[in-house]
Amino acid sequence: MYGLGLYLLIDKPTRITDNSTTLIDNIFTNELLFNVTSGIMYNDISDHLPMFALCEYNISRYNGKEFQFIKKMNEDTMASFSNELSQQTWTNVLKTDDVNQAYESVLHIFMDIFNKHCPVEKVTQKSFE
């Protein structure tokens, strides 16, 4: 992967059992110019730990508009997002036998909580020039 210019974002085990710990789930990137925050969420929703990667793009090009919409993400919003996510019971996910339905439930819960804690904000052109 390094030969292709891709760099690993996760460097801790993502599958932990009584007998072994392995790093078999990966997130790779070829973008090194922007701030990337990545990590593992310690939750027993499956036998693999959920991972995440957030890319902070600071693009300051004028787009011809007086305002722009951005996601509000900072240490406080990410901490509150992570806290609420860790408090989920995942009942809808665990009670289904259909993997596609379980995935849709996880995605729905994740995105609802993410959008709640990291809302879209309207900023004026002057604030990002």
State how far the Cα of 55 lies from the Cα of 82, in Å rounded to an integer: 17
Find all residues with CB under 8 Å of 17, minimum gap 6, and list them: 47
Give the pLDDT score at 127: 46
pLDDT category of residue 36 using cuts at 50, 70 and 90? confident
Q: Tens of pLDDT along 68-115?
A: 777 888 888 888 988 998 899 888 888 989 988 888 889 899 999 988
Q: Where are the domains of the chain?
A: 1-58, 63-129
pTM: 0.49
Give the pLDDT score at 44: 72
**3-state class (DSSP) for residue 98:** coil
Q: Tens of pLDDT along 44-72?
A: 777 888 888 887 766 555 556 677 777 88
Which residues sit opposite 129 in a β-bridge? none
